Amino acid sequence: MFYCSLCENETCYISKFCSKCRKIKHYLNLYNERVYEVLDNVLSRDIDKQNNKIQVEIKDEIKNKEEKIEVYKVPQLRSMSKK
């Protein structure tokens, strides 16, 4: 039997990585060094501090997405009010 090259727990018959580790590999391909930064900054803490750090890390991303949603909603509301 073959085991996943990354986690060494899951059995793999066709690929080198199990599905969970393949997802991690995909993140590494997409975000490169950012993955290591997040892992070091978030997972090297206790659970409460991890949750706090997660919120801090994604706060800007959430804000940007909310702003995009608001910008998208405004033209829709204007066009609806004209009808």
Q: Where are the domains of the chain?
A: 1-31, 36-82
What predicted TM-score, i.e. pTM, was given to this entire model?
0.50
Distance CA 6, CA 23 (A): 11
pLDDT digits (tens, 9 = 90+) for 13-69: 888 899 899 999 999 999 999 898 888 887 777 788 878 878 888 888 888 888 888
- How many degrees, rounded to 5, is the angle at CA 5 between CA 2 and CA 7? 105
Q: What single letter denotes the amino acid at residue 60?
A: D
Predicted local distance difference test score (pLDDT) of residue 59: 85
CB 18 within 8 A of CB 10: yes
Tell which residue, 45, 69, 70, 72, has the closest CA to residue 57.
45
